[in-house]
Amino acid sequence: MDIQKNLTPLSAERIKNADKSGFSQGNIIVLDETESTNSIAKALAAEGASHGTVVTAESQTMGRGRLGRRFESPKGAGLYMSVIVRPSFDIAFAPLITSAAAVSAAESVEKLCGEYTAVKWVNDLYMNSRKICGILTEAAINSKGSLDYAVIGIGINVGRTEFPSELRDIASSIEAETGNIIDRNILCGEILGRLEYYLENIEEKRHISEYRRREMLTGNHITANTGGREVEGYAIGINENANLLLKLSDGSEMVLASGEANLCRIRRKMDE
Ligand code: BT5
């Protein structure tokens, strides 16, 4: 699907100007079409690309989600960006990277369009109950067992009002929800600034309170798939490690470190 909008084209110069933190240090690659910005970023990282290097593309032909799923990334409709990070922090903090990226993206979207942006554990952003953004973090561990690099991939539906049938009921975009067409270069720069701040402070877990505040499963009955097991329960909240705390019907508590979770009512609706 090719949805060419009147969006300001992506430009390394514009992103650099919008990245007030200087996180990228001008190492910004803008592609027209690519398979996946995460794949390009991983290849560059393996060749030694520096901390803060950014890869963006106008479209992705094989945009990736988790577990081999696709992230639909048509031309001129979204911000598809991947950031290489070479963290100095201990590998124990690596599982917090995705939640830090989610808060960075949610705050940036909200700042530019003025609409409340929720986080759905683990890696999605929602506006008015529809997914507008997904995040995919891929990490490489070196022979000493520490984190060599991580690639943080963020895909945001920016200017887009049409979706293929399989996404129509679950996905949306900033434009569809707010009527605003925002500049992806500025959005990218805003995200980079926050990402630098939250990653620098990951050991103090500065992003967690904001992640908790925005998390939309909390306080609801949910179903979750974790480690191949399907569970149902009440989402109590998010702990210090960005894990989801679940209360099961027998009264016991479960800590979910990774997986997939959905509100029960959304699940039932999808099953109908
Ligand atoms: C994600 O996975 O949502 C992570 C997506 C990460 C995409 C970025 S774009 C830049 C970088 N380069 C890449 O190749 N990837 C990253 P997951 O939680 O597994 O969700 C995937 C599911 O979201 C799909 O199975 C669809 O149901 C739905 N989906 C696909 N495309 C979508 C879109 N454009 N907007 C909203 N939902 C979508």
Q: What pLDDT shows up at residue 86?
A: 97
Output the average pLDDT for the chain: 94
Residue bearing the CA closest to ligand 1, atom 17: 65
The percent of residues in the chain predicted with pLDDT above 70, rounded, is: 95
Ligand 1 atom, smallest distance to 65 CA: 2
Helix axes 184-200, 97-113, angle to 10 degrees: 140
Q: What pLDDT shows up at residue 40?
A: 98
**What tens digit of pLDDT does each residue of 217-232 get?**
999 999 999 888 899 9
**What tens digit of pLDDT does each residue of 23-69 get?**
999 999 999 999 999 999 999 999 999 999 999 999 999 999 999 99
Burial of 145 (0-12, 13-18, 19+ CB in 10 A): exposed
Q: What pLDDT shows up at residue 228?
A: 86
How many angstroms is it from 63 CA to the middle of ligand 1? 7
Output Rg (C-alpha) for the chain, integer angstroms: 18
Q: What is the pTM of this model?
A: 0.95
Q: What pLDDT shows up at residue 267?
A: 44
Mean pLDDT value across residues 72-98: 96
Q: Which distant-in-sequence residues (6+ apart) come within 8 Å of 250 by Cβ?
A: none
**DSSP symbol at 33:** E
Q: Which distant-in-sequence residues (6+ apart) come within 8 Å of 135 by Cβ?
A: 98, 101, 102, 105, 123, 124, 125, 152, 153, 154, 155
| CB 157 near ligand 1, within 6 Å | yes
Exposed e or buried b per residue across 106-134, where buried means at least 16 C-beta atoms within 10 angstroms of its C-beta: bbbbbebbeeebbbbbbbbbbbeebbbbb
Q: What pLDDT shows up at residue 62?
A: 98
**What tens digit of pLDDT does each residue of 91-117 get?**
999 999 999 999 999 999 999 999 999
Best of 10, 31, 71, 226 to mutate for ligand 1, by most ligand atoms within 8 A of CB? Answer: 71
**What tens digit of pLDDT does each residue of 114-157 get?**
999 999 999 999 999 999 999 999 999 998 889 999 999 999 99
Residue bearing the CA closest to ligand 1, atom 21: 65
| CB 80 near ligand 1, within 6 Å | yes
The helix/strand count (H/E) of the chain reads as: 8, 12
